[in-house]
Structure 1
Amino acid sequence: MKLNKALRTVILIVAGILILASSYTFITELAVTKYESQTITTFSADNKADISFNVYLK
């Protein structure tokens, strides 16, 4: 299929713009962090029991 010169130029320009836009979006998604890691304590395991373990020998 033969394309005339103007149509071929338009297709190349549109393809170039799409490649540039998609690469810009991909790079910004990799470079910019949108979320931070946080450590949230949801359970405290402090032992507050006062148990005396005595062993009596005979």
Structure 2
Amino acid sequence: MAAQPALSPDSLEAVLSEAAMSLAKLVRLGVAPTTTLLGVTRSAAPGRMAESEGTAVA
């Protein structure tokens, strides 16, 4: 799981660059373990154990 949060900045940078923005515009970043309260038989992204969420300003 430790490697997945390390990929977050690269993933966010790729998404921001598609919007002609950079990490300098990032004002909030959250990383958390993937959890659910529902019974799930399989994941949309098997093996993914962390999720990241960011907010950027234009």
Asked whether the two chains share a fold, i.e. TM above 0.5, the reply is: no
TM-score, structure 2 as length reference: 0.29
TM-score, structure 1 as length reference: 0.29
Structure ranking higher in strand proportion: 2
Looking at both structures, which has the greater relative contact order when contacts are Cα pairs under 8 Å and sequence separation is at least 6?
2
